[in-house]
Amino acid sequence: MIKVEKRSDVSRSIYFLTPVLAIFLTLFGGGIIFFILGFNPIEALKFFFITPISDLYGLSELLVKATPLCLIAIGLSFCFKSNNWNIGAEGQLIFGGIVGGGVALLFYNHDGFYVLPIIILSGAIGGMLFAMIPAILKTYFNTNEILVSLMLVYVAKLLLDYLVVGPWSNPEGFNFPETRQFSESARMPILFDGLRIHAGIFITLITVFLSWLILYKTYLGFQIKVSGLSLKTAKYAGFKGKTMIIIVFMISGACAGLAGVGEITGPIGQLHRNISPDYGFTAIIVAFLGRLNPIGIIFASLIVALTYLGAETAQIFLQVPKYTGQVFQGMILFFLLGSDYLLFFKIKFLGLKKNEL
């Protein structure tokens, strides 16, 4: 017989082991789905998770995709830790891309080392300002930040669409919905010839380090954690709730904006309609899978990036739509949240007692 008991304290090892369990359960669930679709599950999973990273190019692609995911998730961890549900990172990414891209187009005829930093900075500011909309509406008008940040994703997408079709479209581009290619000095330096991995990865790594500093070594980090654990305690301690909410949104918006500008100056090199394959939404999963912990998020971003690559490979070899990646991402989050049950409850397998038989 099985007995469920509440744990008196949360075990730290289980806290970081359940994500691993969730990944295995996802593989299992994915295998079942492939089987139902009529594929050999082992083969299909191999195409999905092994084939894409079995050469150097694949590994570089993994890092190219993990770079924005990790960056956005790090930003989101500030929000989620303090119980602020910013789920519009996709919009902040796009808006950051728009602002950064606009500056890149402005400097189209300029060469110089200063061009790229200005673009990157303006992208971060763009994302930050866009994230401040839900933050300010939440703090001053009591508006639900989930809905506002999400609605703004659609607004940002439509704004991008308008710009690349209309005023910013390439004058020599035969009316394709895209801007000019950015000049060389507006592009992220490529790290290795022939691979797409770019300097944006350093921005991500620096951000990871800085956020670790802020979260664990500063008063702000302490405030964020306390507010996340208990709003009442935070109020009692006299923390300025409103300022903190705006700051965490600014941080996560800036991170998403950086990710956006990293994409357009990195692998893409121009603005067009689809500058992000929903990185902003997927990063929510990365943040949770990484337990809102900077180091955890690095690992989580690599795993979730693999679902993107896997979906692309599976699309080629198995003719399944690229959305299969999202099925896996959804499953990871389901299993992760579900296995959190083990954090708070002990499941005991007891032998049957005589009198119960």
Partner 1 sequence: MSFDLNFIGILIGAIMASSVPLILAASGELITERSGVLNLGVEGMMIIGAISGFALMVVTDNLFFAVVGSMLSGLIISLIFGLLTQSLLTNHVATGLALTIFGIGMSAMIGKNFVGIPGKEFPLLFVNLKESIPFLGPVFFGHSIILYFAFGLPFFTNYFLKKTKTGLIIRAVGDSPTSASNQGINVTLVRYSCILYGGAMCGLAGAYLSLIYTPQWIENMTGGRGWIALALVVFATWSPIKVLIGALIFGGITILQLHMQAVGLRIPVQLLSALPYIMTIIVLVVISRDSRKIKLNTPTSLGQIFYKEK
Q: Which positions touch partner 1 (CB under 8 A)?
A: 6, 33, 37, 85, 87, 137, 141-144, 146-148, 150-152, 154-155, 158-159, 161-162, 165-166, 281-282, 284-285, 288, 320-321, 323-331, 333-334, 337-338, 340-341, 344
- Report, in Å, the least distance between residue 330 CB and partner 1: 3
Task: Answer whether 243's CB lies under 8 Å from 82's CB.
Answer: no
- Report, in Å, the least distance between residue 99 CB and partner 1: 17
Between CA 27 and CA 45 the distance in angstroms is: 7
Between CA 66 and CA 70 the distance in angstroms is: 6
The DSSP secondary-structure symbol of 268 reads: I
Beta carbon nearer to partner 1, 189 or 321: 321
Beta carbon nearer to partner 1, 109 or 175: 175
**CA-to-CA dists, residue 251 to 78, 176, 202, 254, 333, angstroms:** 7, 34, 18, 5, 24
Beta carbon nearer to partner 1, 176 or 344: 344
- Report, in Å, the least distance between residue 345 CB and partner 1: 8
Q: Which helix (H) or strand (E) holds 4?
A: strand 2-6
Between CA 72 and CA 257 the distance in angstroms is: 8
Contacts (Cβ under 8 Å, ≥6 apart) of 357? none
Beta carbon nearer to partner 1, 103 or 333: 333
Between CA 194 and CA 183 the distance in angstroms is: 19
Beta carbon nearer to partner 1, 18 or 60: 18
- Report, in Å, the least distance between residue 33 CB and partner 1: 8
Beta carbon nearer to partner 1, 33 or 59: 33
- Report, in Å, the least distance between residue 29 CB and partner 1: 10
- Report, in Å, the least distance between residue 187 CB and partner 1: 27
Strand-pair partners of 5? 346
- Report, in Å, the least distance between residue 144 CB and partner 1: 6
Beta carbon nearer to partner 1, 109 or 319: 319
Task: Answer whether 58's CB lies under 8 Å from 50's CB.
Answer: no
Q: How many CB atoms lie within 10 A of CB 18?
A: 20
Amino acid at 112: G
